[in-house]
A and B are shown apart, each in its own frame.
Chain A
Amino acid sequence: DQQVKQNSPSLSVQEGRISILNCDYTNSMFDYFLWYKKYPAEGPTFLISISSIKDKNEDGRFTVFLNKSAKHLSLHIVPSQPGDSAVYFCAAWNQGGKLIFGQGTELSVKP
């Protein structure tokens, strides 16, 4: 059963506009969430995280929002740049001490 879901396999955005990537989870015990970014032929790299005690965390052009009641989080990238084109994975920290990842969303930022 997929506990972390990214329902959009792909997203295309114009350079300079906002990119919004979404993620839903089913387990209310998850207490920490992360976003990873993956370029082709490379491993995923950490991008930004948020604790369940917060509803927003910002780092430069990247902001993650958490809605615990809806079990939903989103990653906003403003403004989007061509170099942001990559696969983005949402992940949740399991009480058992492991990260559970979603399926990933491939973002394409067009010049």
Chain B
Amino acid sequence: DAGVIQSPRHEVTEMGQEVTLRCKPISGHDYLFWYRQTMMRGLELLIYFNNNVPIDDSGMPEDRFSAKMPNASFSTLKIQPSEPRDSAVYFCASSFSGARGYTFGSGTRLTVV
């Protein structure tokens, strides 16, 4: 099993540009989570999906953030337009129903200049 796969590993973009982060969950997992790591708030849940349907997006900071899960093996997190304060490490995680823990990807380090 390749685990949760995120791409790109690093992204540097200019303020105002659109950024798209990608995630492939573990096959068979029906939950997918997007987290953001910051010094102040630690691992902050942005949004999660169950069976490709968004369940809770209350952690999405602004309308500039959007997430989709078109099928069971792919999800995207998009920021448009990006701002310097969006600079952080973004993690994707997946799990199956009944599991109490998640498997995380290696993260995407986003830098907005």
Report which A residues bind B (CB closer than 8 A).
Answer: 2, 6, 9, 32, 34, 36, 41-46, 49, 89, 91, 93, 96, 98-104
Contacts and interface: CB of A to CB of B under 8 A. Distances in A.
A91 B43 CA distance: 9
Contact of B43 (A9, A41, A44, A46): A44
Contact of A98 (B37, B45, B105): B45
Contact of B107 (A2, A43, A49, A103): A43
Contacts, number: 55
B101 A46 contact: yes
B85 interface: no
Chain A binding surface, main DSSP class? strand
Interface in B15-39: 33, 35, 37, 39
A44 B100 contact: no
Interface residues of B, number: 23
Interface in B81-113: 91, 93, 100-107
Chain B binding surface, main DSSP class? strand
A49 B43 contact: no
Interface of B: 4, 33, 35, 37, 39-45, 48, 56, 91, 93, 100-107
15 contacts: A6-B42, A43-B91, A43-B93, A43-B104, A44-B43, A44-B91, A46-B102, A46-B103, A89-B42, A96-B56, A101-B35, A101-B44, A101-B45, A102-B42, A102-B43
Contacts of A41: 106-107
A2 B44 CA distance: 10
Contacts of B35: 101
Contacts of B37: 104
Contacts of B106: 41-43
